[in-house]
Amino acid sequence: MSKFASFLDYNQKFTINSFPLLTLKEGEILVKNLCTSLCRSDLHTYQGKRIEKSPTILGHEIVGIIEAFGPNAPLNDFKDSPLKVGDKITWAIYASSPEDEFSKANMPQKAKDLFKYGHEQITDTSHFHGGLSEHTILKKNTLVIKLSQELPNEIASLINCSVATVAGALRLAGNIQNKSVSVYGTGMLGIIACAMASKMGASKVIAVDESAERLEVAKQFGATEICLPTGALHHKVDIVLEFSGALDAMQNSIRMLKIGGVTIWIGAVFPQSDIPINAEYIIRNLLTIKGLHNYNNEDFLNAVNFIEMNYTFFDFEKLIKKGFSLDEVSEAFEYAIAHNPFRVSIHL
Ligand SMILES: [Zn+2]
């Protein structure tokens, strides 16, 4: 038997249930979850700002240890390190066929047979696919990377959504070396983006946010300058990474660019109104707008490498409010919504 928090509908409390673990199928790995952090999209689902098929198990920022291998499960991780029972691992949010046309085009997160942890419906044949659970069953074709046992679980849990998505944004931005970067929106992803851009050699990192408190935190994670949205247009930069999803932020992100600049939109992952864009301004200033949803295999690998190299340099742990158990998942969501910390983590 394994315990999980079942989510039915928004503004309903989670119900804690137990169910026998399914027999592992071809290529599957059973993971004992250690820690799950509540991502913004989990909170949006809980609040009814986005809809998931239900009943479901939310939570996709997860870290765990291998408990068992199914038939023909991979015995090496994505870095080709051998895997064994007891290894601490992270895994990509998606499982999809490497033969799909989108997978082959480096967009496995958009493959036709996409399976996404923390976003699937519980059925008779599909269960234990989210982080608010004692176990996760990793599907065939899930990218797995072994982690150092020393890496704290709360930090490790950030890899498979926040950190990998930021790695994807920086891949789309191109060469960061000696470029000026603005990070618009300093929630968890924005803070990680400040840290990653600074480590990748950005000449300056300008953090923009409505919260003076969060901007102060950004300074401890690599931001060289901070400003409120009202002052954003006083800056001209090569790259903007837009994490807030606010309409005026996306418009500002275009106007902040120098000639030839690129803005990456990552934040607007909930229903949006159209925004006016001046085509002549884009054309005459040689600007590029790119969208990013989730990440690909390369981003996931870069995310693991970044965290393993820098988790002692940046104090990510202090951004995570700890101390909730699986039985307290409803309280953890209420706390996260009421107090808006960078992350709330659930210990499993
Ligand atoms: Zn997420």
Give tens-digit pLDDT for 79-92: 999 999 999 999 99
Q: Which long-range contacts (CB under 8 A, 24 or more apart) does 39-44 make?
A: 39/161, 39/162, 39/188, 39/343, 40/187, 40/188, 41/161, 41/269, 42/118, 42/333, 43/333, 43/336, 43/337, 44/270
Q: What does the pLDDT read at residue 324?
A: 97
Cα(124)–Cα(214) distance, integer angstroms: 44
Average pLDDT over residues 24-53: 95
Q: What does the pLDDT read at residue 257?
A: 98
d(CA 165, ligand 1 centre) in Å: 9
d(CA 115, ligand 1 centre) in Å: 15
> What does the CA dihedral 243, 244, 247, 248 come to, rounded to 10 degrees?
-100
Cα(205)–Cα(219) distance, integer angstroms: 9
pLDDT at 271 over 90: no
Cα(294)–Cα(278) distance, integer angstroms: 27
pLDDT digits (tens, 9 = 90+) for 293-306: 999 999 999 999 99
pLDDT at 134 over 90: yes
Beta 257-265 vs 135-138: how paired, if at all? unpaired
Average pLDDT over residues 64-93: 98
Average pLDDT over residues 260-282: 95
d(CA 155, ligand 1 centre) in Å: 14
Q: How many residues in total does the chain contain?
A: 348
d(CA 281, ligand 1 centre) in Å: 33
The mean pLDDT value of the chain amounts to: 97
Q: Which residue has the higher pLDDT, 93 or 322?
A: 93
d(CA 37, ligand 1 centre) in Å: 9
Average pLDDT over residues 272-283: 96
Q: What does the pLDDT read at residue 150?
A: 97
Sign of CA dihedral 253, 258, 263, 267: negative
pLDDT at 137 over 90: yes
- Note whether 87 and 146 are within 8 A (CB): yes
pLDDT digits (tens, 9 = 90+) for 6-25: 999 987 899 999 999 989 99
d(CA 93, ligand 1 centre) in Å: 9
Average pLDDT over residues 94-109: 97
> 123 CB contacts (<8 Å, ≥6 apart)?
none
Cα(201)–Cα(247) distance, integer angstroms: 29
pLDDT at 50 over 90: no
